[in-house]
Structure 1
């Protein structure tokens, strides 16, 4: 609870004041948070009412401004059950930040907890738990950044003044604060903090978290939707990440040989699961693709096949007219690098067709994976490779 000063009489410093002579003007405080004041100055024709904001240090109050206080009233009934009191502080939130460092065949990822205090006062935290995962809270349309998550503070957490001596007394202990290893709880993960620390008002506080063992595979990705028109483009700089521990959702900066090369958002990733992502084009890997129509045959589909088709709403006895297209796809990949590179090719986007079938033409191991055509290859340094295959489409 806090007694509001809105509507009370105050004095403000006149703009005509000087260091030698201070002139005060009487007014009414309209909004104490934004320092909005209403005055009626006799020097203005007709004593017109003015509203304007005034710096806090130029407002003179007739009564002492109160500080916010929080009260929790409850009745305790003796029993054998435990009593736990909690409340949600929307001013304390956190998110995970990552640094992914790659050097030759070595890979390392560093996780950091970024805790934000959006309040106007410092907060002393005796102990806390960082909870991450797919958390859904009803916060009544507050201005809420979904990249931040809730921090559940210990029962001994309380508000401190900005210059409190408590902050200085614990200064040495704060240097050793870190986040302990997380544990799974009801589909979420909980990371405890068992040392005390202080977060100043409007401040971000960074704490080291877990240091998992990871493996990262680099490759060039060519993933495109099927089109009968000639197409060309560049491969994507792609990565395949696997961690031996759970990784919580967060921003990740990627460094190659100590240089920043990109940024991505990691999802909530289970231990030993795989996450694939791309961070931009590779100017040295170019592909060109041409599609040639070999044949086009129209036929009537029999009743038995109609019942097995996607047109399940059709009644028995209806004959459908279909067209079978046979295309030859020729693809050229050029590697301008002075080293070889792994390329993963995927042709997709056949959803507008009734059926798709791969027809292999050469020694390259194209495979059909559901409704996609895939091929993994190694392109040697400064070389051009040509690939071709055929597909049969029914519409």
Structure 2
């Protein structure tokens, strides 16, 4: 039968561990399997008062941890004298062993040995050690909260980006709460924390923290650790399970842009050819611009779907983003946006310079309007000056942005002077 652990107070979930806060009503007892997942030095007692000065008295309490050897001595059990015995008799365990146990028959008072697998228990036997944690002295006129860290509960975020033909987007956040223990956990309040922390459980290194479903925006920064969201309703987490919860929509905007950067490489000025012509064709890349004006976003896996048909078009690992931070990432070429160009380079050996004229054709074969960003720069070893079609100086690079209608194309040219 799964073991259930209800708590009346707060669970703080991070991306590699959890911190439990509960009322202290006397000694706490943990079974061996649960004790193995607790960071023992994290078990501390605090006053439930909001007064910080009272909370500072935590070190005044004496903490005791005792390992109790639990056995079944003195317990009433049902015993079959031999495997075929149909009517077990009531006995009291005198001394238990893995193979044979000494028991006393209640009706006759006789003692005898019996194979341990012939003993039937009324309740589940507790054969492992129990760890008892207590604090002393406890004033009777105050209430206290005990907290401790466990490694078998954690959470991680997932993101879904939906793009539509009208250029609108939908950004969703899902949270996976992961329970790797045989326990059922129940909490009245859950806080989803995000940040970066390093903790060690025994020989295993546990690093970092993170998120989940929320009812209100509670983005608070505690020395780099954020209270990302909180749930004030009851939460039940089943053994060996992953519970997925949605997060309330946040104020996050996504814009899709199709980009290409043309790097100009020029032949040596010493070449015998005064004029050279190069032409080529390329595909534009998809660029996603994320504008986060809502709250702290933890790092997580992002899946991107196109249109209401939910066609998967890519995936990305989103880094940690602070509030108001902007982020861009490129994700694959798009075959429907084509760049064609031809470039004429004229070398002037007398002035040791080159004049490059570039003609650009951008074609949109999509059924929708798109955002285009075209750039041109010179390779790092070259110093260039760019000029538009009207001979206006553009500086050391060309930046060209426009909205291109569906099934449309655009043509333009620019001039570049190579300096030595």
The TM-score, its normalising length taken from structure 1, stands at 0.58
| Counterpart in the other structure of 1:120 | 182
Q: String of CA shifts for 1:303-341, please: whole Å, max 9, x gaps.
A: xxxxxxxxxxxxxxxxxxxx8665444433232334543
> Highest relative contact order (Cα 8 Å, sep 6+), 1 or 2?
2
1-structure distance, mates of 2:211, 2:371: 42
| Counterpart in the other structure of 1:199 | 237
| Counterpart in the other structure of 1:345 | 374
2-structure distance, mates of 1:70, 1:289: 75
Q: CA deviation at 1:286?
A: 1.4
Q: CA deviation at 1:272?
A: 3.9
| Counterpart in the other structure of 2:418 | 392
> Quick check: 2:386–2:397 contact (8 Å CA) kept in 1?
no
1-structure distance, mates of 2:419, 2:137: 73
| Counterpart in the other structure of 2:150 | 89
2-structure distance, mates of 1:130, 1:358: 52
Q: 1:111 to 1:151 in 2, by over 3 A?
A: closer
Q: CA deviation at 1:105?
A: 4.8
Structure 2 unmatched ranges of 5 or more: 1-30, 37-82, 84-116, 120-124, 267-277
The alignment of Structure 1 onto Structure 2 pairs a total of residues equal to 287
2-structure distance, mates of 1:61, 1:222: 77
2-structure distance, mates of 1:257, 1:365: 41
> Quick check: 2:190–2:235 contact (8 Å CA) kept in 1?
no
Q: CA deviation at 1:225?
A: 4.7
> Quick check: 2:199–2:206 contact (8 Å CA) kept in 1?
no
Q: 1:68 to 1:251 in 2, by over 3 A?
A: farther
Q: CA deviation at 1:143?
A: 7.3
Match of 2:226 among 175, 183, 189: 189
Q: CA deviation at 1:238?
A: 2.5
The TM-score, its normalising length taken from structure 2, stands at 0.55
Q: 1:226 to 1:142 in 2, by over 3 A?
A: farther
| Greater strand share, structure number | 2
Q: CA deviation at 1:246?
A: 1.4
SS at match of 2:127: coil
Q: String of CA shifts for 1:110-154, please: whole Å, max 9, x gaps.
A: 322221112233222332211113x131437747697xx3579xx
**2:323 paired with 1:285:** no
SS at match of 1:87: strand
> Quick check: 1:239–1:278 contact (8 Å CA) kept in 2?
yes
CA RMSD in angstroms comes to 4.4
Q: 1:139 to 1:287 in 2, by over 3 A?
A: farther
1-structure distance, mates of 2:261, 2:253: 23
SS at match of 1:137: strand
